[in-house]
Amino acid sequence: MKFEIVKIILWPKDSEKQIRTLEFKTDEVNVITGDSQTGKSSIVAIIDYCLASTKCSIPVGIIREKTDWFGLIIKVTGKYLMLARREPGAIIASSEFFIEELADFTTISQPHKNSTAESVKQRLNELCGLSNITGGVGYESNYYKRPSFRDLAAFQFQAQHIVANPNTLFYKADTTEHRERLKMIFPLVLGAVTAEDLRKKAYLKELEADLEKKKNVLALKKASIDQWVGQIKGQFYIANEIGLVPKEIVEGDNWTTFDYVNALTRITGAIDSKVIQIPIGSTEDSIKRIIKLKNEERDLSRILESKRSFLYQFQKFDQAVSENLELGEIGLKRSSSSGWLTTLLSEESKCVLCGSDSDAASKNIAKLIEYSKNLKERTKQIGHSVSDTFGNEITTVKKDITSNEEKLNQVRQQLNVLMKNEKDEQSARQKESNIYKFIGGLEYSLKEYSLYLTSSSLNDEIKNLEKNITILRNDLNPRAETIKINNAMDAVSKNMLGYQSMLGVEKPDSTAFVDIKELTVRVESKDGKKDYLWEIGSGANWMGYHISAILGLHEHFATLSKNYVPNFLVIDQPSQVYFPDKWPKDESRIASDKKLANDLLRVHSIFKSLSNSVKKNKNGLQIIVLEHAPELTWNGIDKIHVVEKFRDGNKLIPNDWMS
């Protein structure tokens, strides 16, 4: 989108002083050159601050001490807008903004608070076409909020600590939150997905989170129901013992859990304030029930003990068979070694004992070998047969043990309920208050059961969620999205190729890609070797790939029918990799010093690359370069505009502000 910076404005805290302005040209490479500590690098932070950054990164010192408001005049699709923000003082960032539509950029108003940070962000979102993109229906996450103008700052700034950084390619992508948000919006800014796709992706995240939550709830209910079933039966027997079960309700041999619940529900619904009478014989019935359950427990325990003994014996026998088979194999191998005797005792051989001519020994050895072979086969057959038989028996016994353990657990659950009631309530069984206490507990249990019954509706909800998730996944078509992303990154890679050679990176013919997953540059040589930026040496290479990548991306953005990214770029001191400290004051030295002369040519190539990008960009591109390199480095290059020279006492903060 057409979004360019026309002016930077600083209003002094001393109202008697004149405002400070820096004026830029659109569709050109704008250069502010100067010495160290003159305020050049603060330009990045000032622009970012005025565009509603979360915190103020303008360095503490003279600039903030002397400036009251920082401002920009921007040109957006042919219209002018002034944005100003108050210096934050002791806080992280000021929420006081001034915003004004302008007929032209010559009129500069005195700013005052007429807006807030949130309002300005919303306005910037509108200008970039991001205001109608939702991040997900109620899905609360920093990583999946709707895309914002602030997210696009990654493509606008190459600060001094970024432009030659092997570990960070994009502005503010050195924090987890910004990295994850940048990964989320990358397919959108590349044109691989639409705003509607992004909304669906965020909604899909919400549905998946809801599905996981409901599945966990269902799993917990299923885990607790087995224990609950034994308790509900025990409560029915207690209710019968204390006289709460009407005579017409008779327990059946084939009663299901639902039958017990239905009977108990009728009991709680029929309770009134009258004293409840205990039927004659109910206590005896309870005791009989306990005795019966005790007998069942004893019988099941005996069966379990017997099954466990059988299992132990089976497993020991199976182990013994295996060991005997191994011993048999060893013996057979030893006996089979007698074959050498056959060779020795041929028909022509003499007896090794008496020396007489005889074939008896040879024939007997042959019979022995044949017997060994037959014995080996029979041993294998018997061993496998026994192993298979005992394997089946062991499996059957294990199943029987599991089944009896489950039966024993249910019997013990019922006994626990009855015995506990017998112990705790024996002396107070006739008291009405204790009866109603039991009713209260019973009602709670029935409520728990009703909650369990809702698992059927929970199952329906889970099925509906799974259905909607499937529909969304099919609509999004991740395979098609991946193809579009790859095509876009191939286009960016082709854009980068020309700059790689111009900027003098090692192996300039190797294919370089912007890796969205790692948010860095990946270089692939012709032999298939892949190297990430942090694996490649030298600051010159890092800087070269940084500038190649950011220019390649902006060229791609300009080809899109819907481009959300503003077409300005600020680069701070790309020449630092060649001149890390300062330029020699005597520029005539450069011609006589081969290294300096070579470094000068390399810096010249940087400006030539930027100029070429401005000329090639179909939508126009404004580049602002903050440099300590002198004019010598860009002489003869088109599309270069020198904004100001911060030298010989001229700085961002005027000298008259200091008095």
DSSP 257-304: HHHHHHHHHHHHHH--SSPPPPPTTHHHHHHHHHHHHHHHHHHHHHHH
Query: In Å, how far are 88, 163, 586 from 583, measured between CA atoms?
Result: 35, 19, 9
Tokens of 563: 């481009």
Say which DSSP state 154 is in.
Answer: G
290: in domain: no
Query: Which domain-ending residue is among 352, 374, 408?
Result: 408
Tokens of 188: 């959108």
Helix/strand/coil (H, E, C) string of 516-580? CCCCEEEEECCCCCEEEHHHCCCHHHHHHHHHHHHHHHHHHHHCCCCCCCCCEEEEECHHHHCCC
Work out how many domains the chain is built from and give that number: 2
Same domain, 153 and 38: yes
Same domain, 385 and 510: no
Which residues on neighbouring strands pair with residue 82, listed in sequence order? 73, 100
Same domain, 184 and 102: yes
- d(Cα 602, Cα 501) in Å, to the nearest integer? 11
Q: What is the structure's pLDDT at 298?
A: 82
Same domain, 61 and 170: yes
Which residues on neighbouring strands pair with residue 614, listed in sequence order? none
Same domain, 48 and 137: yes
Give the CATH number, domain containing residue 79. 3.40.50.300
Q: What is the structure's pLDDT at 273?
A: 41
Q: Give the position of tokens 């939508």.
A: 619
Query: Which domain-ending residue is among 379, 408, 437?
Result: 408
Contact predicate 181/545, CB 8 Å: no
Query: In Å, how far are 125, 185, 481, 528 from 194, measured between CA atoms?
Result: 16, 10, 10, 33
3-class DSSP assignment, residue 70? strand
| Residues with pLDDT less than 50, the chain | 135-143, 273-276, 347-348, 428-430
444: in domain: no
CA geometry: angle at 654 spanning 649 and 658, to 5°? 100
Q: What is the structure's pLDDT at 584?
A: 62
216: in domain: no
Q: Tell me which amino acid residue 487 is.
A: N
261: in domain: no
Which residues on neighbouring strands pair with residue 641, listed in sequence order? 30
Same domain, 489 and 341: no
Q: What is the structure's pLDDT at 426?
A: 53
What's the pLDDT tens digit per position in 72-87? 999 998 889 999 999 9
Q: What is the structure's pLDDT at 100?
A: 93
| Residue 125 neighbours by CB distance under 10 Å | 19
Give the CATH number, domain containing residue 323. 1.10.287
Which residues on neighbouring strands pair with residue 469, listed in sequence order? none
Same domain, 404 and 520: no
137: in domain: yes
Q: What is the structure's pLDDT at 449?
A: 66
Q: Give the position of tokens 């903004």.
A: 97
Contact predicate 169/520, CB 8 Å: yes
Q: What is the structure's pLDDT at 537?
A: 82
Task: Please give the distance of CA 616 from its chain centroid, rounded to a whole number.
Answer: 38
241: in domain: no
Contact predicate 127/149, CB 8 Å: yes
Same domain, 495 and 371: no
Same domain, 404 and 311: yes
CA geometry: angle at 498 spanning 40 and 526, to 5°? 125
Contact predicate 8/22, CB 8 Å: yes
110: in domain: yes
**Whole-prediction pTM:** 0.64
Average pLDDT along the chain: 81
Q: Tell me which amino acid residue 227 is.
A: Q
Q: Of 144, 131, 143, 117, nearest to 200 (Cα)?
A: 144
Domain range for 39 is 3-192+477-658
Same domain, 142 and 21: yes
Beta-carbon-side half-sphere exposure of residue 302 (alpha carbons within 13 Å): 5
- d(Cα 448, Cα 451) in Å, to the nearest integer? 5
H/E stretch holding 327: helix 282-336
Query: Which domain-ending residue is among 408, 433, 462?
Result: 408
**Start-to-end Cα distance in the chain:** 43
445: in domain: no
Contact predicate 12/139, CB 8 Å: no
Same domain, 501 and 388: no
Same domain, 402 and 484: no
Q: What is the structure's pLDDT at 135?
A: 47
- d(Cα 150, Cα 51) in Å, to the nearest integer? 8
